[in-house]
Amino acid sequence: VISLSQAFACIGRTEGGSVLGDLFGYQRIPRPLSIRAQLRALEGNHFHVNVICVAPEDWPTWTTHQICHALQFTRDAFGTVGIGLGRIEWYAIPSDQAGSYAIITGWSEASDLTASWTVPNDGLDLFVVRTIIDSEGESAIDGSCDKNAKGMTGSVVELYEGADDYAGNGFAHEMGHYLGLDHVPIEGNFLGGVDGASNSWSGVLDWQGERMKTHCLMRRGWQ
C-alpha cells in the first residue's frame, strides 16, 4: 500500500495534512473508516469530488454528518469493485447567490444549477441541495469532463432527515450515472429497482465498475 505522504501528494497536499479532514475529506467521522482501504483507493482507480452545498446557512446540524456518511457509503459501495473517492473538497453557494436554486424542481432546474456554478478542477461537481421536488436526484449519464460544456455538468442530490443510507444511495446512484451508468432492473443494486428507485441499496456489479473505470474523470494510480 502507498504511504500517507504519497496519499497526501495524490490529493494535492504535498506538505501533508490531517487524516480525517484531508485524506478522507470529512468534518467528522460518519461511520467506521479504514485508512488502509483509503490508501488502496488512492493507489488504484479513483475520482475526486467537489461537494457543493447550495444555500446551507440554515441547514440543521445533522446534514453535515449525513453528507459525510453518504460519501463514505459511496466509498464502501464503489470499493467493492475497486473504485475509490480521492480528494474531497467542500464548497458552498450562499443563499443570497443561490436564490431559487435552494430548492430544486426537476431536471431542467438541476441542469441550470450545474451550468451556473462549477469548480475549475478535475473533480466531479456534486451539488447538495436540501430538497428536490418531484425527484430524488438528477445527473447527466456519462457526464462531460469539460465543465464548460453545454447541459448538465454535475450531479445533484438531496438530504433526508433520519435516513443516512437512503441519502448514501442517492450520492452513489447519481455519481454512478455521471460516470456512465444507467438504471438496471436488479434488486439490491445501487442503480436498481423500478425506474431507478434504488432505496438504500449498495450493490455494485463488476461490469458496472469496469464501465465507470473507463470514464474520463477516473484517475489511475497515486501519481
User: What is the contact surface with Zn ion in residues (CB under 5 A)?
Assistant: 196
Q: Toward Zn ion, which CB reaches closer, 44 or 196?
A: 196
As measured in angstroms, the least distance from the Cβ of 54 to Zn ion is 19
Q: What are the counts of helices (DSSP H) followed by strands (DSSP E) for the chain?
A: 7, 8
Query: Of all residues in this chain, which one has the CB nearest to Zn ion in the complex?
Result: 196
CB 205 within 8 A of CB 187: no
Helix (H, G, I), strand (E, B) or coil at 88: strand
Q: Read out DSSP for 133-161?
A: ET-SEEE-SS--S-TTSSS--SEEEE--T
For the chain, report the end-to-end CA distance as a whole number of angstroms. Answer: 14
As measured in angstroms, the least distance from the Cβ of 27 to Zn ion is 27
As measured in angstroms, the least distance from the Cβ of 206 to Zn ion is 20
Q: Toward Zn ion, which CB reaches closer, 145 or 197?
A: 197
As measured in angstroms, the least distance from the Cβ of 183 to Zn ion is 6
DSSP classification of residue 190: T
Q: Toward Zn ion, which CB reaches closer, 41 or 110?
A: 110
Q: Toward Zn ion, which CB reaches closer, 17 or 196?
A: 196
C-alpha cell of residue 141: 449519464
